[in-house]
Structure 1
Amino acid sequence: MVKTTLPVILLRGMVLLPYSEIRLEVNNDIDRKIWQMAEDNHDNNILIVPLSNPLDESFEVDELSKIAVMGKIKLKMELQNGSTRVVVTGINRVKVYSYDNYEDNNNILQASIGNTTQFAITPKDEIVLMHKLTREFEEYIETRHDLGNSILNDVVGIKSIAKATDIMATYVPVSYERKIEYLKTINPYTRLLMLLEDIKKERQLVELEQKIDIEVKKQLDNSQKEFILREKLRVIKEELGEANIKDDDIDTIKNKIESANYPPKIKERLSQELKRYEMLSPNSPEISITRNYIDWLIDLPWDKFTKDNNDLVKTRKLLDETHYGLDKIKERIIEFLAVRQNTKNS
């Protein structure tokens, strides 16, 4: 390519790579003028430059990328809502020598561009690399149910790594920053390595999502199975004339266990006793014993604590007020508390 000048369109949040297309809805009068100038004065050619940070309202010309894509207007039509639809195709990467105002218009940029550095790959190496890349890409497409096999038609028969990597990169869901990295990477071999890395990551992600879906489906199937069995059990009990008081009681106990702050071992024990209670027949002599044991475990103040009374004189006074006689027992209690207190202090 001979060094030339083209008007510039800045893209936010979108990257155009060579051999791919983008569709734009143009509502801005300045952008309409830029597209019209490209159509009238530059044989439908235009320079597409993505902004490094799409959220920035303003930018510095010096910060614009020195590698961009020369695009060609494929379609331009006026819509009924007043906007202009433009379809542009990426032709090739170009090196930007400088950015300037277009014919002294401060609102429109133009760029002086030329060819990028060309990297040579031996035909034998290119065949091997293309075979590897095509196989990995085909296997990746098979895992993506949202992408049709027709995409493979776009790469079948391509013998150039430079072209194949640009086409395939448009179908791999990577971040905006990664797409800009693809754009700025001139060496096709480096792009191939990047693409293989991203395809591998995506395949691992898809496999992980499929594994999660299988586990979720399995859990849902188990839950549905349990629900159906419980409903059948409820109907059987109703047919046998058994009241639903026990079922309501079990639900109440479950709610208490879930809502209260029990120690892990106690919660586990309660769950075991509840399963045992659930399996017992209403006519079983053990059902009342099990139910009372569950109540006892639930009612114990597991998460409530009181402050120890270390005043031995006051303790003896309280014992005398509440218990008549029993002097030896009271002395033994006081001795126990005294030893315990001394042990803590030491």
Structure 2
Amino acid sequence: MINFPKILRKEDDSGSTNLVLPLLPLRDIVVFPHMVAPLFVGRTKSVNALADAMNSEKSVFLAIQKKAGIDKPEPKDIHSIGTVGNVLQLLRLPDGTVKALVEGKVRGVIHNFIPNDDFFQVEASILAEPVPDEPDVAALTRAIIDSFEEYAKLNKSISKDLINNVSAITDPSKLADTVAAHFSFKIEDKQRLLEEIDPYKRLSYLLGLIKMEVEVYEMDQRIKVRVKEQMEKTQKNYYLNEQMRAIKKEMGAEDDGAEELDELEKRIKRKRMTKEAKAKVYQEFKKLKLMTPMSAEATVVRNYIEWIISLPWFDRSRITTDIDAAEKILDEDHYGLEKPKERIIEYLAVQSLVKKLKGPILCLVGPPGVGKTSIAKSVARATGRKFVRLSLGGVRDEAEIRGHRRTYIGAMPGKVLQSLKKVGVNNPVFCLDEVDKMSMDFRGDPSAALLEVLDPEQNNAFNDHYLDLDYDLSEIFFITTANTLPDIPLPLQDRMEIIRLPGYTEYEKYHIAKGYLVSKQIEANGLSGKDIQFNKSAIYTIIQQYTREAGVRNLEREIASICRKIAREFMKDPSIESFRVTPKSVQKYLGPPRFRHSQLEEKDQVGIVNGLAWTQFGGELLCVETAIMPGKGNLTVTGKLGDVMKESAQAAFSYVRSRANTLAIDVDFYKKIDLHIHVPEGAIPKDGPSAGIAMGVSLASALTGRPVHRDIAMTGEITLRGRVLPIGGLKEKILAAHRAGIRKVLMPKENEKDLKDIPAAVSKQIEIVPVDHMDEVLFHALLPQQADKSPVAGDAAMSVEMIPKEPDDMVQGSTIN
């Protein structure tokens, strides 16, 4: 019988006796009544609780934590139902921990936690168990004992003495607690058994857990037997195979494995490799001959040798150095693209003068559909090299470039060497597509791995992780493609020669369609030999009204769509001998026009300005609108603009305020009105430092009432003093203006150096005016005032002379080429 004389209290009216006991929080063990368990205690509070128990009546309350990982549990982290027990023995170990032997006595429940800085102290009471019905409990007791004996037969670690002791227990509650203590149930299940006061319900739940444990144990035994049988079968097969090999050797019969090794050795001797590779192959071949052919390691070594001897170490294509023939091929395949063609011809010229030239690394940057990948194929054809393409879009694993180490299962070389094995030569044209679409994650940075591949100074000794040998990549002609330059890491850009392909003019698109796309789609859609002609107006109709792009991919799709419909017409009526595609038939086949030929306004309007923007798909016309309303000087900027464009709008507003007198508007105009600047198509994000002067002109036009020329577009950033700062993407923007029918473009004077890239066909049709101050922009952009006064004019109406006149050094009406 346990003694609890320490502190006794009477509860209200219930008459139950409460005990004040030290609490020992347990992590991963549930102590049941009638159970003796050793505990290793290291936490200071727990050690103090045991010391307090030993110094008094040796009574302690044992309760498990809700989460074992908590080092400093709070009262809310401890289960309220536990076991009241005795500390039988306490032993301090040299490492500072304490070994305690405790015995569970009865179930208890915590009512309150008593404040104590040294250890947990609780006010608890003993839980009384109900008396179950005798017949029901007797049947459950028998079932529990039978199940326990069945488990003991499977688990040999349970002694016969324990089985006899369990069988002799007559108290149902004690039987349930004793059996539960000897099973490795989950902590949650054991806590549930402890919290179940009714012996009948506890026995029922325990029986289900034992049945489940027996089934799991039987399944585990079956799996072990199956694995053992499989291992014995494998060993038996290995033994028989070795016997067969020995018998064949004694009989003088040929061994298939030996034949394969002899053939492999002959291939090694015939293959031209570097000295390092040759030594490595022979070293691995010696290992292979000592291995059993059926072993997994032999397969790994054989694959490694196969990879080394299958690579084109010294196999090369014969390079064509005929410059005239190469130029003719490039012109046949592509219209325009002068810079890439010029660079290829330069390379061939140098190649004909020197014996060995390190392979150049070109990077073609431009919007989709301008022919970046196809020009790489043309380079291969013009130089007589083989062509291989590797798409880098979405690659995020460094091993895709450098390969996996041989320690990994299923290891292979990187995509670079795999492509060389496939093409069979060591000097192909190697196109690395979408180099700006690579990403990075925990598996490494593939762009960093590409640095060694694309660096002319070190790619002559490229080391793949799988081969672990130096491989010469210096003779490969690398061509990379990208849509946007900023997405390519700067160290990678440093290794490449950047060539921009900004897009095509309508004139160039017409010639591409006429000379390449129409004939290609006629053949692709089975119309070869048929008399089919697209007239000039039809092609221009497709370009202007059904496509809006920098490249020609959508143009080719629309031509293919027309060819498919023509093919259907031929199948319906075989008597048709010829077919002429006109603008009318284009609308019949492709439906109503999708785009307007021009994005210009119908007439000159106040506050509406044509800006120019750059996108990764080419240039775009960007409309800027300003509205004036009565208010208190608020400036609202909308159109899903980024921070840079919002700052440009604020700078433009400050400039207009600073020039109020010159513009003949009220100095305090901003106190009486609100201004709203809007860039339409608000669902599309817009940002960049090139819309400042467009916003400034829009504000000035709205405040002065002077309309803006509808056929003028402009690009440039503005400062508070009115200076026009340079921008990027000038060629793309001027091409966009040309597509939209703009007649005059205002651009920063500092960008005059970029005008040499503008096609002659475009510069002849557009007047390009360099400006370096906002006053010049206003002079060119604004028309005379329509009304007597501007919406916010001062005492005198603004006259035309108040806008600064054209500078003396500017020749009006001239076109700058």
Count, aligned residues: 266
Structure 1 equivalent of residue 181 of structure 2: 170
| Residue 45 in structure 1 maps to residue 67 in structure 2 | no
CA distance in 2, matches of 1:25, 1:56: 16
CA distance in 1, matches of 2:70, 2:259: 61
| Residue 7 in structure 1 maps to residue 22 in structure 2 | yes
Alignment partner of 2:31 out of 16, 19, 43: 16
| Residue 212 in structure 1 maps to residue 223 in structure 2 | yes
- Displacement of 1:170 after TM fit? 1.4
TM-score, normalised via structure 2 length: 0.30
* Structure 2 counterparts to residues 219-238 of structure 1, below 5 A: 219-238=230-249
Structure 1 equivalent of residue 46 of structure 2: 31
Seen in structure 2, the aligned counterparts of structure 1 residues 187 and 247 have a Cα distance that, compared at 3 Å, is farther
Tell me the amino acid that sits aligned with residue 68 of structure 1. Answer: G
Seen in structure 2, the aligned counterparts of structure 1 residues 234 and 175 have a Cα distance that, compared at 3 Å, is same
1:236-294 superposed Cα distances (whole Å, 9 cap, x missing partner) = 10011123245653969x969xx9xxxxxxxxxxxxxxxxxxxxxxxxxxxxxxxxxxx
CA distance in 2, matches of 1:12, 1:207: 30
Structure 1 equivalent of residue 80 of structure 2: 66
| Residue 310 in structure 1 maps to residue 524 in structure 2 | yes
| Residue 97 in structure 1 maps to residue 111 in structure 2 | yes
CA distance in 1, matches of 2:122, 2:249: 84
Structure 2 equivalent of residue 192 of structure 1: 203
- Which segment is superposed worse, 72-81 or 158-167? 72-81
Tell me the amino acid that sits aligned with residue 88 of structure 1. Answer: V
| Residue 108 in structure 1 maps to residue 119 in structure 2 | yes
CA distance in 1, matches of 2:35, 2:207: 19
Tell me the amino acid that sits aligned with residue 197 of structure 1. Answer: G
Alignment partner of 1:119 out of 100, 105, 130: 130
Secondary structure of the residue that 2:524 maps to in structure 1?
A: coil
CA distance in 2, matches of 1:57, 1:95: 23
Contact 2:48 2:118 in 1 (8 A): no
CA distance in 2, matches of 1:65, 1:216: 43
Contact 1:5 1:110 in 2 (8 A): yes
| Larger gyration radius, structure 1 or structure 2 | 2
* Structure 2 counterparts to residues 109-148 of structure 1, below 5 A: 109-148=120-159
- Displacement of 1:54 after TM fit? 1.1
- Which segment is superposed worse, 148-157 or 11-20? 148-157
CA distance in 2, matches of 1:214, 1:32: 47
- Displacement of 1:46 after TM fit? 0.4
Contact 1:52 1:177 in 2 (8 A): no
Tell me the amino acid that sits aligned with residue 129 of structure 2. Answer: Q
Contact 2:25 2:46 in 1 (8 A): no
Structure 1 equivalent of residue 780 of structure 2: none
CA distance in 1, matches of 2:299, 2:77: 62
1:132-160 superposed Cα distances (whole Å, 9 cap, x missing partner) = 11111111111112333332143131111
Tell me the amino acid that sits aligned with residue 106 of structure 1. Answer: D
- Which segment is superposed worse, 78-87 or 219-228? 78-87
* Structure 2 counterparts to residues 253-268 of structure 1, below 5 A: none
* Structure 2 counterparts to residues 259-338 of structure 1, below 5 A: 310=524, 312=526
Secondary structure of the residue that 1:90 maps to in structure 2?
A: strand
Greater share of helix residues, 1 or 2?
A: 1
CA distance in 2, matches of 1:69, 1:311: 85
Paired-residue identity, %: 23
- Displacement of 1:49 after TM fit? 1.2
Structure 2 equivalent of residue 155 of structure 1: 166
Contact 1:126 1:160 in 2 (8 A): no
- Displacement of 1:73 after TM fit? 0.8
Structure 2 equivalent of residue 296 of structure 1: none
| Residue 86 in structure 1 maps to residue 300 in structure 2 | no
- Displacement of 1:192 after TM fit? 1.0
Secondary structure of the residue that 1:48 maps to in structure 2?
A: strand
Seen in structure 2, the aligned counterparts of structure 1 residues 148 and 249 have a Cα distance that, compared at 3 Å, is farther
Seen in structure 2, the aligned counterparts of structure 1 residues 3 and 76 have a Cα distance that, compared at 3 Å, is same
1:18-77 superposed Cα distances (whole Å, 9 cap, x missing partner) = 111221223344333221211222x11100111111123444424532211001011112
Secondary structure of the residue that 1:77 maps to in structure 2?
A: strand
CA distance in 1, matches of 2:138, 2:24: 36
Tell me the amino acid that sits aligned with residue 69 of structure 2. Answer: L
Tell me the amino acid that sits aligned with residue 94 of structure 1. Answer: G
CA distance in 2, matches of 1:69, 1:235: 70
CA distance in 2, matches of 1:123, 1:190: 13
- Displacement of 1:125 after TM fit? 3.2
- Displacement of 1:83 after TM fit? 3.2
- Displacement of 1:312 after TM fit? 4.9
Secondary structure of the residue that 1:156 maps to in structure 2?
A: helix
Indicate the structure whose relative CO is greater, using CA pairs within 8 Å and at least 6 residues apart.
1
- Displacement of 1:122 after TM fit? 3.0
Alignment partner of 2:193 out of 168, 182, 185: 182
- Displacement of 1:199 after TM fit? 0.9
Contact 1:126 1:159 in 2 (8 A): no
CA distance in 2, matches of 1:75, 1:179: 25
Q: Which runs of 5+ in 1 are unaligned?
A: 260-303, 316-337
1:154-198 superposed Cα distances (whole Å, 9 cap, x missing partner) = 313111111111111112211122221122111111211121111
CA distance in 2, matches of 1:7, 1:75: 16
CA distance in 2, matches of 1:119, 1:3: 19
CA distance in 2, matches of 1:227, 1:8: 62
Contact 1:46 1:72 in 2 (8 A): yes
- Displacement of 1:8 after TM fit? 0.8
- Displacement of 1:208 after TM fit? 0.8
Tell me the amino acid that sits aligned with residue 142 of structure 1. Answer: K
